[in-house]
Structure 1
Amino acid sequence: MKKIVACIAMAVVIISCNNATEAKNFKTAYIDTNKLLEESTEAKDIKAKYEAIAEEKGGRLKVEVEKLQSEKSSFQANAQKNGQAWAQQKYGELQQREQQLQYTEQALSQQIQGEHGVEMDSVVSKYRKVFKEYGKDKGYDYVFGTGESPNVLYAKDQYDITKEIIKIVNEKYKSDPKKSDKAADKKEALKK
């Protein structure tokens, strides 16, 4: 009986030592996800696309706002000439147009943010696949992410593979045949 207990105890010690040794041999790395999204060509292209759309559509809205401001100025000059009834009616119309412009601006902003978010979610999904492939190819046990919602509190710089991942995602994006379609979509979106 003592021999059985001794054998079991010895087996537990050996297994514990093996697990501790395996834990020390984990190969880990991390990716700064904020830096990745700032420096990847695809993310930059998407950001530029939506900035251009916002600028173009916002420009049209700005013209309407300036027109309204001009009408408000002339309203103030003409209010006493045309009487109180006219002034009340015109003032109500100007307020209504101002509200409509504000609603239009909010809707435009939400639309652009929503579309941008959908495209960026797609990019993040694509990048997660790259992380997985890269981790497998390089033999990593763990690849952590830092950034907006970090799950690494500390890591040595030697484990940072962000630059390598940026290079890979940029190369994949450049070689993507759909990229030319995206550029055409960008030009088409600017025309709208």
Structure 2
Amino acid sequence: MKKSIVAIAIAISLFSCNKAEEKTTSEKTAYIDTVKLMDEYTESKDLQAKFEEKSKVMGRELELEIKKFQEEADNFRRNAQANGPEWAQKKGAELQKKEQQLTYAQQAMSQQLQKEAAVERDSVVSKVRKYIKDYGKKNGYSYIYGTGDAATVLYAKDGYDITEKIVKELNDNYKTPEKTETKDTAKAEEKK
């Protein structure tokens, strides 16, 4: 009797192990190259282009101020000896203060652009993550791994790479925003 109970227990445990093995081998997995995904995703490209343009526009305004400052500095150098040391010291202090203000303005502009870009980039990343999660559920995946800068997959067969599918579907679902901001910027530039 004891032998038959032990035999049944062993049979049940072997049967359970086989079931667990079957379950893990039938799980559907894939991976996505996250760097490639963000490089090829149209919304991500649009976001990058938007901030490059915004940086150029803001940079032009600052460049005008820098040119004015350089002209003042050149004028100062030419007139320093003629106007005497007292004038040169006073004017030099003013120029130094302006240079500091320009440096602060440049840093502030850079920080503002970085903050705005980070907020919008985070929004795109969240949207992509949600899409991948929904894609995984809809298509029966147990796991979808990410590779790229923060690689979590050290090796995978090429057949498991679904990056192209995800990029295509994201791009198909993305509606390109109207370029009104760019048009408005161009019109403002023409008026200057």
TM-score (norm 2): 0.90
CA distance in 2, matches of 1:61, 1:102: 10
Note the 1:29-108 alignment, pairs <5 A.
29-108=30-109
Distance in 2 between residues matched to 1:189 and 1:115, nearest whole Å: 18
Q: Alignment RMSD, CA only?
A: 1.8
User: Is the 1:42–1:173 contact (alpha carbons within 8 Å) kept by the matching residues of 2?
Assistant: yes
Q: Which residue of 2 aligns with 1:3?
A: 4
Correspondence list, 1:36-185, <5 A: 36-174=37-175, 179-180=177-178, 183-185=179-181
* 1:151 counterpart SS class: coil
| 1:46-75 residue CA offsets vs partner (Å, 9 max, x unmatched) | 110100000010111111112111211111
Give the drift of 1:184: 3.5
Q: Is the Cα contact below 8 Å between 1:32 and 1:146 reproduced in 2?
A: yes
Query: Does the 8 A contact of 1:30 with 1:161 survive in 2?
Result: yes
Give the Cα–Cα distance (whole angstroms) in 2 for the partners of residues 139 and 164 of structure 1: 15
Q: CA deviation at 1:161?
A: 0.7
Q: Is the 8 A contact 1:33 1:145 kept in 2?
A: yes
* Percentage of pairs with the same residue: 47
The count of aligned residue pairs is 187
Using the size of structure 1 for normalisation, the TM-score is 0.90
C-alpha distance 11-164 of structure 1, shift in aligned 2 (>3 A): same
- Counterpart contact for 1:27–1:139, Cα < 8 Å: yes
Contact 1:30 1:143 in 2 (8 A): yes
Segments of 5+ residues of structure 2 without an aligned counterpart are none
AA partner of residue 53 (structure 1): K
Tell me the equivalent position of 1:24: 25
- 1: CA distance, partners of 2:115 / 2:37: 21
